Chains A and B, each alone.
Chain A
Amino acid sequence: MRQPNTDTPPSKQAVISIRGIGKTYASGHQALKSIDLDIRPGEIFALLGPNGAGKTTLINIVCGTVTPSNGTVCVNGFDIQQDYRQARAQIGLVPQELLTGAFESVEATVRFSRGLFGKPPSPATLEKILRQLSLWDKREARVMTLSGGMKRRLLIAKALSHEPRVLFLDEPTAGVDVELRRDMWAMVRQLREQGVTIILTTHYIEEAEEMADRIGVINQGEIIVVEEKQALMNQLGKKQLVLTLVSSLTVVPSELASYPLELSADGYTLIYTFDAQKEHNQIPELLRHLAVLGIDFRDLHSRESSLEDIFVNLIATGGSL
């Protein structure tokens, strides 16, 4: 088992500073190896990873529901174990599953959450949060009568009830319809504008691509990449030029061997892959070459690799760039 990384002290600038966090369950399963991670104030950080990668374990450790086997976590300089009151008071957690009560009213359960986190009752704050999440009209409804989407929003309302500085959203849009997902993204951005730091885990790469400022990729209990989203896409992103030919080809002509070209199975599509970062991409030369060889095309378009392509590639290569 790795020891905490004592060489790197907790960052003073980071809102959350994770050093050498490891977790081995009683069953012997090592969920986290030795995680070092800093979350900056006011950012939206997306933690991506396949099932069982350790995303939820890491979140649960920071939030105090799982005890780490080793390492330290500081929230705004407060250690989550020694200064757990100050640390936890700044965090709101929206769990992955729809873990709500059943018989109490929406209003009562949000009021309970605020009190639990040490805040005095505040009807005005409660109203503001419930209105923001479109739950105000349902405030007297029993939790069990809410739809899945409403329960998801209720969990967010509960997590926001004590006005946390940091909000953890564990798979916030799992099983949520497209419209609600868009609403939730808008709400997350609104929270960020209010100064709340947001850490979200997601399976939907599109979600991270849409919202995150920075992205961390976790796999088999290790963080393999932490990077600005745009930088990650720029570094790892590849562009492709897709040409739809007038007549099919059987093979790529030998005169074009110097270009990284792929021919589709039906021979009608030629795909040229190039590095988006390079200033000179050789597209004009390729097009001239095609004209000389009498290869006509009736359509061309370019496409960029998505974060999903990057993610799949990262997982496959174990994080090597």
Chain B
Amino acid sequence: MNLHGIRAIYLYEMARAWRTLAQSIASPILSTSLYFVVFGAAIGSRMGAIDGISYGAFIIPGLLMLSLLSESISNASFGIYFPKFTGTIYEILSAPISALEIVLGFVGAAASKSVILGALILATARLFVDYEIAHPFWMVAFLLLTAVTFSLFGFIIGLWADDFQKLQIIPLMVIMPLTFLGGAFYSIDMLPEPWQTISLFNPVVYLISGFRWSFYGVADVNVLTSFGMVCFFLFVCLLMVAWIFRTGYRLKN
């Protein structure tokens, strides 16, 4: 195994995050803080508790998931798209490094950045609202699995995209609406039918529900179903990446 190669890609990608600190860390923390101010402190103070949890605390897992999904996709997609765009991908393709090792380097770095960001957002949330984590092990498991899965998904988007518009279209036009409609700001129980049933087709519902359960012990859907869904997404993304590298899709020729 080319461990030096994995390390080189990982460190290179992490260095990119430090070079663009304002964009990769400060900006998501600022936008999440604004959500806390507006929805948590201002509007939240006039809203009743949901499942016995104050509204400010209730939205923490959803907001964290919103940042986690968008930043994982954005970091990983840009990480692989930029070398394709500039042509420097030739170096990676001509190196003695396997597809798996390339994925470990890029996705590992993107997921690491997301986990660091998640921890910073949690720390920031503490400044605005009190919250507790009922199941820390599950919280970390959901955080890690989601970061890895959506970094993989971002990597796939980065490979697929052949212009900057395609790079942005999935995070903005698909992930963002699914997250807003996935119970980030409300409980699915609050929706009338048929929207409640329709929501169950939104995969992000399972992510947010499971994650919220790890904080407060309450969930819209069974936590094992949520966990199973995250593992299923991970598996699908792994299959897609394996296919891309086996066929050389958008990489060679």
* Stretch from B56-64, B91-99, B206-214, B230-238 contacting the other chain: B91-99
* Stretch from A96-104, A218-226, A251-259, A288-296 contacting the other chain: A96-104
Q: Tell me the bound Cα distance from A99 to B94 in angstroms.
A: 14
Q: Tell me the bound Cα distance from A164 to B163 in angstroms.
A: 34
Contact yes or no, B8 A112, CB < 8 A: yes
Is A119 in contact with chain B by the CB < 8 A criterion? yes
Interface residues of B in 196-253 (CB under 8 A from A): 248, 252-253
State whether A119 and B4 are in contact (beta carbons under 8 Å apart), knowing that A85-B96, A101-B86 are contacts in the complex: yes
Q: Tell me the bound Cα distance from A18 to B62 in angstroms.
A: 57
Chain B: residues with Cβ within 8 Å of the partner, total of 27
Contact yes or no, A118 B87, CB < 8 A: no
Contact yes or no, B252 A116, CB < 8 A: no
Is B161 in contact with chain A by the CB < 8 A criterion? no
Q: Tell me the bound Cα distance from A119 to B3 in angstroms.
A: 9
Q: Tell me the bound Cα distance from A66 to B96 in angstroms.
A: 14
**A residues within 8 A CB of B44?**
none
Contact yes or no, B4 A115, CB < 8 A: yes
Interface residues of A in 98-127 (CB under 8 A from B): 99-104, 108, 111-120
Interface residues of A in 67-89 (CB under 8 A from B): 67, 84-89
Contact yes or no, A65 B15, CB < 8 A: no
Q: Tell me the bound Cα distance from A69 to B15 in angstroms.
A: 38
State whether A99 and B96 are in contact (beta carbons under 8 Å apart), knowing that A104-B15, A108-B12 are contacts in the complex: no
Contact yes or no, B94 A85, CB < 8 A: no
**A residues within 8 A CB of B19?**
103-104
- Quick one: closest B residue to A105, CB to CB? B15
Interface residues of B in 8-29 (CB under 8 A from A): 8-9, 11-12, 15-16, 19
Select which of B16, B86, B87, B91 is within 8 A of A116 by beta carbon.
Answer: B91
**A residues within 8 A CB of B164?**
none
- Quick one: closest A residue to B94, CB to CB? A63
**A residues within 8 A CB of B92?**
116
Q: Tell me the bound Cα distance from A93 to B88 in angstroms.
A: 12
Is A25 in contact with chain B by the CB < 8 A criterion? yes
Contact yes or no, A115 B94, CB < 8 A: no
Select which of B15, B87, B94, B97 is within 8 A of A97 by beta carbon.
Answer: B87
- Quick one: closest B residue to A159, CB to CB? B91
A-B CB proximity, top 5 nearest: A115-B8, A99-B87, A85-B96, A88-B96, A63-B94
Is B45 in contact with chain A by the CB < 8 A criterion? no
Interface residues of A in 214-263 (CB under 8 A from B): none
Is A195 in contact with chain B by the CB < 8 A criterion? no
- Quick one: closest A residue to B12, CB to CB? A112
Is B195 in contact with chain A by the CB < 8 A criterion? no
Select which of A84, A99, A108 is within 8 A of B88 by beta carbon.
Answer: A99
Interface residues of A in 261-302 (CB under 8 A from B): none
In whole Å, how far is B247's beta carbon from the nearest beta carbon of chain A?
Answer: 10
In whole Å, how far is A60's beta carbon from the nearest beta carbon of chain B?
Answer: 8
Given contacts A84-B96, A116-B92, 4 further A-B contacts (CB under 8 A): A89-B96, A93-B91, A108-B12, A115-B11
Contact yes or no, B12 A86, CB < 8 A: no
**A residues within 8 A CB of B31?**
none
Chain A: residues with Cβ within 8 Å of the partner, total of 35
State whether A67 and B248 are in contact (beta carbons under 8 Å apart), knowing that A108-B12, A112-B8, A117-B5 are contacts in the complex: yes
**B residues within 8 A CB of A113?**
8, 91
Is A316 in contact with chain B by the CB < 8 A criterion? no
**A residues within 8 A CB of B8?**
111-116
Q: Tell me the bound Cα distance from A26 to B12 in angstroms.
A: 34
**A residues within 8 A CB of B87?**
95, 97, 99
Is A91 in contact with chain B by the CB < 8 A criterion? yes
Is A33 in contact with chain B by the CB < 8 A criterion? no
Interface string of B125-152 (1 = CB under 8 A from A): 0000000000000000000000000000
In whole Å, how far is A176's beta carbon from the nearest beta carbon of chain B?
Answer: 19
Select which of B5, B15, B93, B253 is within 8 A of A108 by beta carbon.
Answer: B15
- Quick one: closest B residue to A95, CB to CB? B90
Contact yes or no, A99 B93, CB < 8 A: no
Most buried by A among B4, B12, B96: B96
**B residues within 8 A CB of A89?**
96
**B residues within 8 A CB of A88?**
94-96
Q: List 20 A-B contacts (CB under 8 A).
A: A26-B253, A63-B94, A64-B94, A67-B253, A85-B96, A85-B98, A91-B94, A97-B87, A99-B86, A101-B83, A102-B86, A104-B12, A111-B8, A114-B8, A115-B5, A116-B5, A116-B8, A116-B92, A118-B5, A158-B91
Interface residues of A in 107-155 (CB under 8 A from B): 108, 111-120
In whole Å, how far is B83's beta carbon from the nearest beta carbon of chain A?
Answer: 8
Contact yes or no, B12 A64, CB < 8 A: no
Contact yes or no, B2 A85, CB < 8 A: yes
Q: Tell me the bound Cα distance from A112 to B91 in angstroms.
A: 10
Interface string of B76-93 (1 = CB under 8 A from A): 000000010011101111
- Quick one: closest A residue to B20, CB to CB? A103
- Quick one: closest A residue to B92, CB to CB? A116
Q: Tell me the bound Cα distance from A25 to B91 in angstroms.
A: 21
